[in-house]
Each structure stands twice: as C-alpha cells, then as structure tokens.
C-alpha cells in the first residue's frame, strides 16, 4: 500500500505547544500489537529512516520554527542521528591550543523530560505522579517524540536586537522569510521531505496568527503553493491566555487580519483556533465543555484541547481503510464558493453513558452536539457543509440485539446496522439543510501523561460518563471533531473587521510601516474581511 | 519567550554625554572579545549553546551575531560587519577592531576637550587619504591559477590548518576557474557546496559536475550508468487528484476508478514520451538515459522508467536545473511535446552513493562543466559548517580578486603604509581636524599590532620595526608572523583583497563617526541610520 504522505509545519510558540500534544497523542496511540493494528496509517504523518549507526528511525514528517529561548534543551540536530563515537576521532581544523571555549549555561530539562530519559534508559514506563502544570514553561518540557535532524528550525537573534527585530509583527516575519538565508534553508528542508514522498497529499500548517510567525507562515504557504501545488490546510491559532495590554491587543488583531488575508490566498482550507470564546477585541471566556475542567490561561492545557480536535478531525485522511480519501477531498468538500475558512468543533468526550448504547445516547441527547474552538464564531446545527470524525464508539455499542432490543426497536434508528449509518441518520435529522461527510473509527483516543488531567471525575477510565465520581484517571476516550463551513463564519469576519477598522491610519503602527506595510495593503485587508463576511451570508432563504 | 518588544529604541539610549561614553566603552569591549581572533595565528571560538550545540568560528560577523552581546552599540557594529560580509565576504574581524580602535583614539582626544565633530571631520579627511594609499598599493593581476592561489591561500589559512587550507586552496581556485565564463560575471552559485559526513576533512574534493543529495526511488533502477543522456525537466510525472471533485455526493467506486484511470493515462503518456526518445537514442548502443525532474515522479511512473533501465531522480533543487544545463549541456524542459535529442545533456558517468538514509547521485565526466560541486567532508555537522565557512571565504576572495583585477599586499602592509602616509599628511591639515587624522593614523595600526600580539610578539616593538622598514625600503612591508620581523608580503605570497580593505575603510569611518555623534543621531532618530 502506498501511503499518501503529509508534511506538517508548525510555526510559532503556541503552535508548537499544539503540535507537541498532537505528536504526543500520535505516539500514545501507536499500536504495537499485531493482532490489533491501528486503524490509523501512521506513515501518513511519519517517516521511516536510518541513522548512521544503522538503526531504523520513525520520526514525524515535521518542520517547526521557534525562537531560540523557546527550544531550551533541544539540540538543533536532535539526538537520533548523532555520529557514532568511533567516527568522532576528533581531527580538528585548527590548532587545538588556540581554541577558546565559550559555554552558555546548560539548559536544564524539566522533571518530566528527565524522568522520560530515565525510563527510556531503564525501559520502565514513566511514573505519572509529576504535576506538570507548574513545570512546563515551554512545549519542549512535555515533548515525547524525538525529531529528525531536519525538524527543528531556530530563529537566531540576540536580546539586544529586541527593538530592531520585532517578533510581534507580521511584516517582520515576512521579511525574515525573504532574507535569503532563512527561506533557503527552510525550503530546502521542505524539498528534502517532499522528495522522499511517493505521492504526497499535501501540507498541514499550524501557525501563530498574532505575531511574526503569521508573516513567516504566509510567505511559506505562498512558496508551497508556487512550488508544489498540493492541498494545504492551515490552522492560524491564538493563545487563550488573557493579556491586559490593550495596545498590544490591537497589534494582535492587525497581525491576525493580515495572516488570514494571506492564508486565504494560498491555502485550500483554513480554520482559526482559540480556546477563548472570543479572541478580539480581547480574549474572552473559555469555551465550556461539560465534562472538562481546564485552565485556559495555561498553554499546556488549552493547546491539548486544540491538538485533540486536530488529531480527530484529520483522521479522515489518515486511515488505513480508505487510503484514497485524501486531504484534497476534504478541501474540495468545504471550500466551495471560495469559502476557505471553516470553524473547528470538538466534542470531548463524546458523551456516551456507561452501559448505554449509541442509539439511546443519541436519542437522549440534549443541548448542542459540539463546542466551537474557532474564536468569535459559534457553530450552529444547521446550514453547514461539514466534515465530521467520530472515534471510539465500537460497533458493539450501537444497539442491542433484536432479542433484547425492547424499546430500541421502536426507534427509527434501530434499522441502522453500523455506527456510521446511525450517526449519518442522526445528523441528517438534527442538522437542517446541511451536507455532512462523516468518518468514524472504532478505536478511542488513548491518553497518558503528559496529556493534562482535565477530565471531571464523572468520566470513567474508558471515557464513559457516569452519575457519580470515580477515582481513576481517564485512559481512553471517545471523541468527535469537525470542520464546519456555514454562515456563522460571516459573524466572525464581521467582528474582526469592526475591530480592525478602529485603526484609522496605519501610520501610527511604526513597527509595521517600518517593515514594509503600506496603507494600501492595510485597506485591502479591510476590504478582504468585508468581502469574506459577505461571501458567507446565505441569501437563498 | 522574550518579551515581544515594542519599545521605542530611542528609549534605550542614555542621555547624550553618557551615551557617548557608553558607546566608546561598548565598542572597546567588543574589540576586546574579538581581537584574539585576527589572522592566521588567531584563536577560534567554540560556542557551546545551552543545549550543547557547537559552533566553531573566528569570523567577527558570526561572533557578533551568535554571542549575546547586550548593547545597542553592538548592533550598529554588527550592521557594519554584516554589510562587510555581504559586500565582500571577508574582513569582518578587522572591521570590528578598527571601529573599536577609532573610538579608543577618539576617547583620548575627547577627554582632552576636543569636540567629536572635529574628530569626525578629521576622520573623513583621513578616509580619503587612506583610499589613495590603498589605490597606490594595488597590484594588477591576470586571473591565472598562480596569481589566484596566493590570495586564496592567504584567506583560507586564516580559517583552517595550513594542510587543509592548502588542499582547499587548490580546490577553490580550480572551481572558480572552471565555472568562469569569458566576459561574464562570476556566479558563485554555480559552485555547489555539498556536505557529506565522513571521517576526515582532508578528503574534501572537487567534482567537475553535479552532486545531488538524493537518488532514484526505485529498487530496480540502475545504480551506475555510463555515457548518459541527461534529461532535465520540470514536468509532473505524478498523478494528482484535483481539488475540484468534491467527495460529498459519493460517486460509485467504479465511477471513481474510471476517473482515476483516465487522469492517470495523461501522466503515463508523458512517461511514454521519455521512453520513446530513450529507445530511439540508446537501444542497441552503449548509451544510457537519466531523467532529472524538478517535479514529482510517482511509483507507477518510476516503474515504467525502471523497466526501461532509465535512472530517474525526482524533486531536484530548482537551482540544480540551471546548474545541470551548465554542467551537462541541454535545456531544462517544461513540457515533452517536442522532445528531441538536442534538448538533452550529456555525462560520461552517473552513479549513486549511499550514506545512512541519504543517497547521493554523482553526475560526472561532463564535457565542459560550467558548474561544479565541492564535496565537503567532515566527521560532524559543526566541522562541516566550519569547512563550509572557510571554503565560502576562499571562493569569495578569488572572485573579489578577479572582479577587482587586483590584489594588495597583506600581513598588515596596507595599514602600515596608510598610517605612515597619514602622519605625513596630518602636517598639512589645518585646525583641530588634524587631531582626527592623527587618531585615524594610530587606529589603523591596530591590525598589524594585533597580528603581532596574536603571534606572540610585542605590539610596540613590531610597529617600530615595520614603520622603519617601510621608510627605508619605500615598498610594502608586512609582519612575518613566525619571526616577528618585517617581510615583503609579495615575496611571501601574502595578499589581501582590494575591495575588502576599501569597504573596511569606508564602513568603519561611517560607523565610528555615527557612534561619536550619538547626540545628533539621537535627535535625528535612530531610523536615519537604517540601511
Ligand atoms: N600569513 C600571514 N601573515 C601575516 N598576516 C596575515 C597572514 N595571512 C593573513 N594575514 C592578515 O590577517 C588579516 C585577516 O585576518 P582574518 O582573521 O581573516 O580577519 P578578517 O575577518 O578581518 O578578515 C589581514 O589583515 C591579513 O593581511
Ligand atoms: Mg579574513
């Protein structure tokens, strides 16, 4: 079977938090049991390789970018591909007595990473007693996978350049890409990954939309589109930590608007992400999940939710069973009429009561089926083009056999013989005037440390909902997530437009004008938001 | 994360008088850090990051950027050294030293009550005079191997061991001379630097052709072919389902398959065109056929090509397309509609080399390679980087020499000569600007002085000797770093680039003046310094 490969790109600090959880989730969900193989084709996101010691490696097909201070103890080349000691027979290129060593203070690993290293050496599983909430300053502090030497791209700069290298500015990021060195290196790494792929699906890009990484991302996507012409799905994201500084809020809004404008142009599909209900004018209240308690101020928490949504909704194009269902299908389904923006939804856990069957759960279901993770955008049940993925409901939990069916038999859904069929029927009945593409797999999402402990105590080890507290950690959970394209996105554009139009003139934003933003481009951006708003308005009713 | 800084840079400046003092001491500080690096006896710095990553360099520009020197003055100096590097590729350490020394000399004058304005005016006079001296030292050269070897060797020996340096010197000069085309600007991009992990740097070599860091992706393709036609192209040989067909309203599986088959045929036809040409040209001869595509080639297409014993590479670097045409001849094709023999290039030998998970493809024995590859070898990433930096410098030095049509005597000869000339010139300058000229004359001596100190000799003794020799001989006199005596650089084959020195003189004068006139600059706003 040829795998249809995907290259993932993470740009920015928050995006790397999301990415870290996402890759952690992948590894936690690997199956080493040949009788019970994974339903997910991991070769879509991973590559197999061989280091110089002849060992086989299996690493994310990933490129990420962050600032120096964010990557802490991570070596640029990683550790998997270290040169064998024997070959290091040091033959230096300069007189050894004339080498002056300048050593920075060694960066300490977080307690979690230390325990990981130890268990890696002793082959014992990690003890999960560590409280991670207080020990995670950067995503590297909770990172499970080891990377290929190509993966990590560090933006070097010095502290004294702070004023001259405004990392908070879209246009600075764009300039950084245009500085030959960065884009040469980066696009060469992209090429190397793509060359390895037999038949690539395309690219997934997670990027911070509120700072210079948005600008890097925009340029990068333009490059990908020009050079490879493959599908690109992207997720511009915003940390839900609240900030007080109102001037910087305005800058973030400007960055986000510019980000979308360019992302829109180059990607096939995109979905803004944030755990706050709103991201402008400022970060709003956290999105509510009935069975979760999480701290939206912690990147470590909020990014885990976003990663969970991404992991589930992308299953559509990562399955073994339907390997010809690919990213371009997803994009084609949703980006009709030039509507490239979509809203992301998450249902965590998919609330199935202990001992109950899907048929009853759906029947008793009250309230909205999903929670939006797209800022300033709710997702209605109706009038959506949507792609939904459900994982973790096995066929055994569909309904009772006819001999024990009792009341179930009178329900119209009883004639459905698969989870897929029943869910489709349910969605057809509940989602008025919508077109749904549903994918489902039976295996739940397996969870282990460093995934944050955010489930309420009425969730069982296997992710069922019960009416009383249990004392065990959740180990697996059913999840539903989706991408939705509907008129709610119009409101999202409208709100961003109204915030952005508070900027009367771009001239006051020196950092932008100094790095090449012109009044015209700003005005185009305003118009773009208005056009999009109108493009999502339904006039057919 | 660093606070995303929106501070007005002006706020970081102290008030004027203090700012001047701060600038001077910062420039001195940076000079102190860099001075040990100058010349063939300078020290390397091994920078070890908090994560354990290693970088070895003595390049002033790299050091300024890698070391976290926290001062706005540093970024001004860094800009001068970056400009130096961009324009000439060399002289960055000298830049830092000269700026620092100009400020040091200025400090003495200012503390005696001289206004910075007078100094900078004097600097300007001195700059013009110094450039005259530089022009008078020019040695015009023809771009022959003998002439270029000296300049390349001088540069490379300041970066790597003499044994490795001499090896690289030969390689660099050969590389440049091979790609050089009559009446055309030298494009160093046509010399690819390819890294390969390997025990010893001494095995670095020049390939008169192209080396790619990827190979065929089909097990049955030949690993080595001779007398090869080379087809370079930018044509997709990969079947791609378009985004147009929505998957919503699912067609039947058969319908879908049919669609795929029809679109697939389109790609197959392209492959068939290649095969057709290959059959016509190669079948029944000892010739073979190689395809190098900038676009993708999917497994079915690879299969078809492999069956015909065609070696095919996909996703070649964009730049390699141009380079392949230069090395092997032929034209990079954007379509196969009218594919003919004349579009193809030629190489005597194409073969594959595997190292770990990386495949290299060597395309050699080209008839007239106008593009070549330097294959750098080193045991690890940082050694390779160090080697690469050195080779880049060597190549730039050679290109500079050819572009200038001239070189100048090295080993401090230029600075000694200029300093001496400035001392004479100073007498003719009226007013306080004279002090500026004098300071400038002193400052230039930082180069020979530092070369002396780094070689273990006394700075003052050496300078006295050199100035005396210069006066008596009336020709260029530099420092013999093994004896501490004077030597004639032209005898010893030590040369520097003309444009490097010129850029140093110009940019150091400007930056030093800007730093001295800090109060005026503050008023004008920092943005006036941009660029
Ligand atoms: N063999 C030599 N003997 C004396 N001086 C030399 C020799 N080779 C190079 N130099 C001098 O060393 C200086 C260049 O040193 P280098 O370390 O390359 O610094 P930079 O970064 O300024 O180019 C030049 O002034 C050059 O004349
Ligand atoms: Mg040099």
Q: What is the pLDDT of residues A425-480, one digit of tens each?
A: 999 988 888 889 999 999 999 999 899 999 999 999 999 999 899 888 999 999 99
For A264, the token pair is: 């829109």
CB contact under 8 A, B46 and A164: no
CA distance A207 to A216: 9
CB contact under 8 A, A156 and B381: no
Report the separation in Å between the CA atom of B106 and the middle of ligand 1, taken as the mean of its atom positions: 25
Residue in B59, B61, B94 to alter for ligand 1 test, most ligand atoms within 8 A of Cβ: B94
**Cβ atoms within 10 Å of A385's Cβ, excluding its own:** 21
- The average pLDDT across A50-79 equals 91
Sheet containing A202-208: which strands, arranged edge to edge?
A: A152-155, A62-67, A6-11, A202-208, A231-237, A269-270
More confident residue, A100 or B76: A100
CA distance B510 to B503: 11
Number of the ligand closest to the Cα of B91:
1
Find out whether A18 and A303 touch, Cβ atoms under 8 Å: yes
More confident residue, B452 or B71: B452
pTM of the shown model: 0.90
pLDDT above 80: residue B519: no
Å from A182 to nearest chain B CA?
A: 15
CB contact under 8 A, B46 and A102: yes
Q: Is A491 exposed, middle or buried (0-12, 13-18, 19+ CB in 10 A)?
A: middle
- A504-511 long-range contacts (CB < 8 A, ≥24 apart) are A509/A251, A509/A254, A511/A166, A511/A168, A511/A169, A511/A172, A511/A251, A511/B6
Residue in B401, B408, B411 to alter for ligand 1 test, most ligand atoms within 8 A of Cβ: B411
Task: For residue A506, report the phi and psi dihedrals to the nearest 5 degrees.
Answer: -75, -10
Q: What is the pLDDT of residue A90?
A: 61
3-class secondary-structure state, position B70: coil
- The average pLDDT across A244-263 equals 88
pLDDT above 60: residue A15: yes
Q: What is the pLDDT of residues A495-538, one digit of tens each?
A: 999 999 999 888 888 888 888 899 999 999 999 999 999 888 87
pLDDT above 80: residue A331: yes
Q: What is the pLDDT of residue A541?
A: 47
- The DSSP secondary structure of A282-326, one letter per residue, reads S--SBPP-TTB---TT-HHHHHHHHHHHHHHHGGGGSBSTTTT--
For A52, the token pair is: 């110089």
CA distance B261 to B254: 10
B148-162 CB burial, b ≥16 within 10 A, e <16: bbbbbbbbbbbbbbe
CATH class for the domain made up of A343-486? alpha beta
- The average pLDDT across B441-470 equals 92
Q: Where are the domains of chain A?
A: 6-79+134-338, 343-486, 491-535
Going by the DSSP 8-state scheme, the letter that residue A10 receives in this structure is: E
pLDDT above 60: residue B13: no
pLDDT above 80: residue B231: yes
Ligand 1 pocket: which residues have CB below 6 Å? Answer: B 38-40, 42, 58, 60, 90-94, 154, 157-158, 410-412, 447, 451, 479, 481, 494, 496
Nearest alpha carbon to residue A178 among A516, A506, A518, A507:
A516
CB contact under 8 A, A74 and B357: no
Q: What is the pLDDT of residue B11?
A: 41
Q: What is the pLDDT of residues A380-398, one digit of tens each?
A: 888 888 999 999 999 999 9
pLDDT band with cut points at 50, 70 and 90 for residue B417: very high
- Which residue's structure tokens are 């800058």? A251
Residues sharing a CB contact under 8 Å with residue A199, sequence separation 6 or more, in sequence order: A2, A4, A5, B238, B239, B296, B298, B299
Q: How far is CA B510 from the centre of its chain?
A: 24
- The average pLDDT across B299-319 equals 94
Number of the ligand closest to the Cα of B408:
1
CB contact under 8 A, A198 and B246: no
Nearest alpha carbon to residue A193 among A64, A87, A310:
A64
Q: What is the pLDDT of residue B528?
A: 37
CA distance B301 to B271: 7
Q: What is the pLDDT of residue A313?
A: 96
Residues sharing a CB contact under 8 Å with residue A314, sequence separation 6 or more, in sequence order: A204, A389
Which domains are present in chain B?
3-140+407-529 (1.10.560.10), 210-368 (3.50.7.10)
Interface test with B, best of A94, A172, A252 (most B CBs within 10 A): A94
Going by the DSSP 8-state scheme, the letter that residue B73 receives in this structure is: H
pLDDT band with cut points at 50, 70 and 90 for residue A129: low
Tell which phi-psi region holds residue A207, choosing left (phi > 0), alpha (psi between -120 and 50) or beta: beta
Report the separation in Å between the CA atom of B469 and the middle of ligand 2, taken as the mean of its atom positions: 25
- The DSSP secondary structure of B393-411, one letter per residue, reads HHHHHHHHHHHHTEEEETT
CA distance B462 to B484: 7
Find out whether A269 and A483 touch, Cβ atoms under 8 Å: yes
pLDDT above 50: residue B339: yes
Please indicate if any CB of chain B lies within 8 Å of the CB of A185: no
Q: Is A204 exposed, middle or buried (0-12, 13-18, 19+ CB in 10 A)?
A: buried
Q: What is the pLDDT of residues B170-192, one digit of tens each?
A: 999 999 999 998 888 999 999 99
Task: For residue B47, report the phi and psi dihedrals to the nearest 5 degrees.
Answer: -95, 120
Residues sharing a CB contact under 8 Å with residue A452, sequence separation 6 or more, in sequence order: A132, A133, A294, A298, A300, A301, A304
Report the separation in Å between the CA atom of B494 and the middle of ligand 1, taken as the mean of its atom positions: 9
- The average pLDDT across A144-171 equals 76
| Predicted complex ipTM exceeds 0.85 | yes
CATH number 3.40.50.1440 is the correct assignment for the domain at A6-79+134-338: yes
Q: What is the pLDDT of residue A540?
A: 56
3-class secondary-structure state, position B268: helix
CB contact under 8 A, A73 and B383: no
Beta strands per DSSP E along B151-209: 191-197, 205-207
Pairing of strands B44-48, A99-103: parallel
Query: Which 413-432 residues of chain A touch chain B by CB within 8 A?
Result: none
Find out whether A230 and A34 touch, Cβ atoms under 8 Å: no
Nearest alpha carbon to residue B431 among B113, B110, B101, B119:
B119
CA distance B188 to B206: 14
Q: What is the pLDDT of residues B83-142, one digit of tens each?
A: 888 888 888 889 889 998 998 898 888 888 888 888 889 999 999 999 999 999 999 998
pLDDT band with cut points at 50, 70 and 90 for residue A88: low
pLDDT band with cut points at 50, 70 and 90 for residue A160: very low
Q: What is the pLDDT of residue A163?
A: 47
Query: B363 has which bridge partners?
Result: B210, B350
Select the residue of B45, B50, B69 nearest A100 (Cβ to Cβ).
B45
Q: What is the pLDDT of residue B30?
A: 82
pLDDT band with cut points at 50, 70 and 90 for residue B416: very high
Interface test with B, best of A109, A161, A511 (most B CBs within 10 A): A161
Taking contacts as CB-CB distances below 8 angstroms, the residues of chain B near A239 are: none
Give the largest Cα separation in chain A, rounded: 89
Query: B373 has which bridge partners?
Result: B192, B207
Sheet containing A99-103: which strands, arranged edge to edge?
A: A99-103, B44-48, B54-57
pLDDT above 60: residue B8: no
Reduced to 3 DSSP states, what percent helix, strand and coil does chain B have, rounded to the nearest 5? Answer: 55, 15, 30
Going by the DSSP 8-state scheme, the letter that residue B417 receives in this structure is: H
3-state secondary structure A248-262: HHHHHHHHHHHHHHH
Going by the DSSP 8-state scheme, the letter that residue B43 receives in this structure is: P
Cis peptide before A128 (omega within 30 of 0): no
Cα-based angle A275, A279, A283 (whole degrees, multiple of 5): 80
Number of the ligand closest to the Cα of B95:
1
Q: What is the pLDDT of residue A416?
A: 92
A6-79+134-338 and A343-486 share one fold: no
Query: B289 has which bridge partners?
Result: B229
pLDDT above 70: residue A256: yes
Please indicate if any CB of chain B lies within 8 Å of the CB of A191: yes
Find out whether A46 and A242 touch, Cβ atoms under 8 Å: no
Q: How far is CA A437 from the centre of its chain?
A: 20
pLDDT band with cut points at 50, 70 and 90 for residue B525: very low
Element spanning B16, H or E? helix B16-34
pLDDT band with cut points at 50, 70 and 90 for residue A97: confident
CB contact under 8 A, B214 and A192: yes
Select the residue of A101, A161, A437 nearest B247 (Cβ to Cβ).
A437
Q: What is the pLDDT of residue A490?
A: 92
Find out whether B327 and B214 touch, Cβ atoms under 8 Å: no
**Mean pLDDT of all residues in chain A?**
89
Query: Which 131-170 residues of chain A touch chain B by CB within 8 A?
Result: 138, 156, 158-164, 166-168
Q: Provide the percentage of residues in chain B whose pLDDT is more than 90.
A: 52
**Mean pLDDT of all residues in chain B?**
86
Cis peptide before A349 (omega within 30 of 0): yes
Segment among A387-391, B275-279, B526-530 with least mean pLDDT: B526-530
Q: What is the pLDDT of residues B380-413, one digit of tens each?
A: 888 899 999 999 999 999 999 999 999 999 999 9
Select the residue of B160, B244, B247 nearest A325 (Cβ to Cβ).
B247
CB contact under 8 A, A168 and B390: no
Q: Provide the percentage of residues in chain A whose pLDDT is more than 70.
A: 94
pLDDT above 70: residue A37: yes
Going by the DSSP 8-state scheme, the letter that residue B136 receives in this structure is: H
- The average pLDDT across B201-230 equals 92
Tell which phi-psi region holds residue B525, choosing left (phi > 0), alpha (psi between -120 and 50) or beta: left
The residue contributing the CA closest to ligand 1 atom 13 is: B39
pLDDT band with cut points at 50, 70 and 90 for residue B336: very high
């Amino acid at each position: 079977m040829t795998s249809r490969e995907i290259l993932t790109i993470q740009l920015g600090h928050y995006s790397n938090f999301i990415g870290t959880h996402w890759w952690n989730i992948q590894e936690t969900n690997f199956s080493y049991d040949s009788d019970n193989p994974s339903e997910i084709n991991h070769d879509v996101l991973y590559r197999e390789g061989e280091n110089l010691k002849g060992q086989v490696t299996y690493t994310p097909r990933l490129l990420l970018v962050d600032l120096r201070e964010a990557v802490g103890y991570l070596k640029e080349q990683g550790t998997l591909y270290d040169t064998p000691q024997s070959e290091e027979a040091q033959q230096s290129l300069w007189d050894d007595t004339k080498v002056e060593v300048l050593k920075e203070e060694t960066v300490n690993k977080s307690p979690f990473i230390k325990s990981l290293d130890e268990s890696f050496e002793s082959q014992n599983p990690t003890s999960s007693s560590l409280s991670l909430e207080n020990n995670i300053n950067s995503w590297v502090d909770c990172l499970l996978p080891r990377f290929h030497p190509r993966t990590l791209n560090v933006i070097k700069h010095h502290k004294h350049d702070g004023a001259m290298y405004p990392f908070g500015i879209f246009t600075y990021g764009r300039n950084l890409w245009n500085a030959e060195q960065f884009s040469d290196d980066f696009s060469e790494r992209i090429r190397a990954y793509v060359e390895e792929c037999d038949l690539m699906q395309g690219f997934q890009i997670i990027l911070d939309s509120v700072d210079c990484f948005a600008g890097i991302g925009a340029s990068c996507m333009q490059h990908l589109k020009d050079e490879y012409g493959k599908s690109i799905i992207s997720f511009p994201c915003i940390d839900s930590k609240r900030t007080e500084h109102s001037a910087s809020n305005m800058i973030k809004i400007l960055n986000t608007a510019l980000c979308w404008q360019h992302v829109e142009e180059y990607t096939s599909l995109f979905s803004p992400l944030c755990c706050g209900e709103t991201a402008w004018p400022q970060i709003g209240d956290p999105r509510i999940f009935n069975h979760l308690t999480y701290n939206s101020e912690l990147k470590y928490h909020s990014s885990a939710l976003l990663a969970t949504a991404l992991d589930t909704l992308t299953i559509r194009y990562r399955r073994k069973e339907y390997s010809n269902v690919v990213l371009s299908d997803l994009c084609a389904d949703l980006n009709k009429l030039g509507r490239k923006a979509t809203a992301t939804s998450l249902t965590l856990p998919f609330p199935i009561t202990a001992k109950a069957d899907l048929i009853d759960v759906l029947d008793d279901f009250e309230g909205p089926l999903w929670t939006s993770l797209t800022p300033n955008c709710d997702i209605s049940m109706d009038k959506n083009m949507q792609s939904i993925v459900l994982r973790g409901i096995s066929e055994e939990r569909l309904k009772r056999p006819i001999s024990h069916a009792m009341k179930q038999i009178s329900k119209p859904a009883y004639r459905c013989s698969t989870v897929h069929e029943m869910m489709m029927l349910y969605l057809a009945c509940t989602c008025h005037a919508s077109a749904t593409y549903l994918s489902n797999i039976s295996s739940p999402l397996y969870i282990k440390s460093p995934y944050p402990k955010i489930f309420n105590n009425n969730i069982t080890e296997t992710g069922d909902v019960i009416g009383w507290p249990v004392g065990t950690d959740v180990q697996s959970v059913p999840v539903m997530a989706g991408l939705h394209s509907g008129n709610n996105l119009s409101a999202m554009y409208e709100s961003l437009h109204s915030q952005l139009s508070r900027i009367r003139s771009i001239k006051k934003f020196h950092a932008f004008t100094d790095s090449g933003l012109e009044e015209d481009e700003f005005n185009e951006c305003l118009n773009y938001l208005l056009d999009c708003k109108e493009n999502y308005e339904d006039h057919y009713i | 994360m660093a606070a995303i800084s929106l501070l007005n840079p002006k706020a970081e400046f102290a008030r004027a008088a203090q700012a001047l003092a701060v600038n001077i001491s910062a420039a001195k500080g940076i000079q102190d850090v860099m001075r040990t690096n100058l010349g063939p006896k300078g020290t390397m710095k091994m920078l070890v990051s908090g994560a354990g990553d290693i970088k070895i360099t003595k390049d002033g520009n790299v050091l300024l950027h890698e070391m976290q020197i926290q001062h706005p003055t540093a970024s001004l100096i860094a800009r001068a050294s970056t400009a130096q590097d961009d324009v000439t590729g060399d002289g960055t350490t000298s830049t830092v030293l000269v700026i620092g020394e100009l400020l040091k000399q200025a400090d003495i004058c200012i503390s005696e009550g001289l206004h910075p304005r007078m100094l900078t005016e004097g600097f300007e006079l001195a700059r013009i005079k110094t450039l005259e001296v530089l022009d008078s030292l020019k040695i015009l050269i023809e771009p022959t191997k003998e002439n270029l070897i000296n300049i390349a060797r001088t540069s490379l020996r300041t970066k790597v061991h003499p044994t490795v340096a001499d090896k690289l010197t030969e390689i660099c000069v050969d590389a440049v001379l091979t790609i050089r085309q009559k009446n055309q600007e030298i494009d160093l991009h046509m010399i690819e630097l390819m890294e390969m992990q390997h025990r010893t740097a001494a095995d670095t070599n020049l390939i008169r052709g192209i080396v790619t860091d990827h190979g065929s992706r089909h097990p049955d393709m030949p690993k080595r072919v001779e007398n090869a036609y080379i087809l370079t192209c930018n044509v997709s040989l990969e079947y791609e389902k378009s985004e147009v067909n929505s998957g919503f309203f699912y067609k039947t599986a058969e319908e879908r398959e049919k669609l795929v088959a029809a679109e697939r045929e389109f790609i197959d036809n392209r492959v068939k065109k290649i095969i057709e040409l290959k059959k016509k040209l190669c079948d029944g001869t000892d010739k073979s056929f190689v395809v190098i595509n900038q676009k993708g080639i999917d497994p079915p297409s690879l299969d078809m090509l492999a069956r015909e014993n065609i070696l095919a590479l996909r996703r070649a670097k964009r730049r390699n397309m141009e380079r392949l045409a230069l090395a092997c001849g032929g034209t990079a094709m954007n379509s196969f509609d009218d594919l003919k023999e004349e579009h193809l290039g030629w190489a005597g030998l194409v073969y594959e080399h595997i190292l770990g998970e990386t495949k290299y493809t060597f395309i050699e024995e080209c008839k007239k390679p106008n593009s070549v590859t330097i294959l750098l070898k080193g045991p690890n990433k940082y050694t390779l980087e160090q080697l690469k930096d050195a080779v880049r410098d060597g190549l730039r030095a050679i290109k500079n020499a050819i572009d200038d049509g001239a070189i100048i005597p090295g080993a401090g000869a230029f600075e000694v000569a200029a300093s001496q000339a400035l001392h004479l010139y100073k007498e003719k300058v009226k007013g306080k600007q004279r002090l500026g000229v004098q300071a400038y004359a002193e400052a230039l001596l930082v180069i020979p002085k530092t070369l002396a100190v780094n070689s273990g000799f006394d700075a003052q003794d050496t300078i006295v000797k050199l100035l005396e020799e210069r006066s008596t001989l009336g020709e260029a006199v530099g420092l013999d770093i093994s004896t501490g005596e004077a030597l004639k650089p032209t005898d010893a084959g030590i040369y520097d680039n003309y444009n490097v020195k010129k850029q140093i003189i110009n940019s150091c004068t400007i930056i030093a003046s800007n730093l001295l006139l800090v109060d005026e600059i503050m008023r004008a706003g920092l943005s006036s310094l941009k660029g």
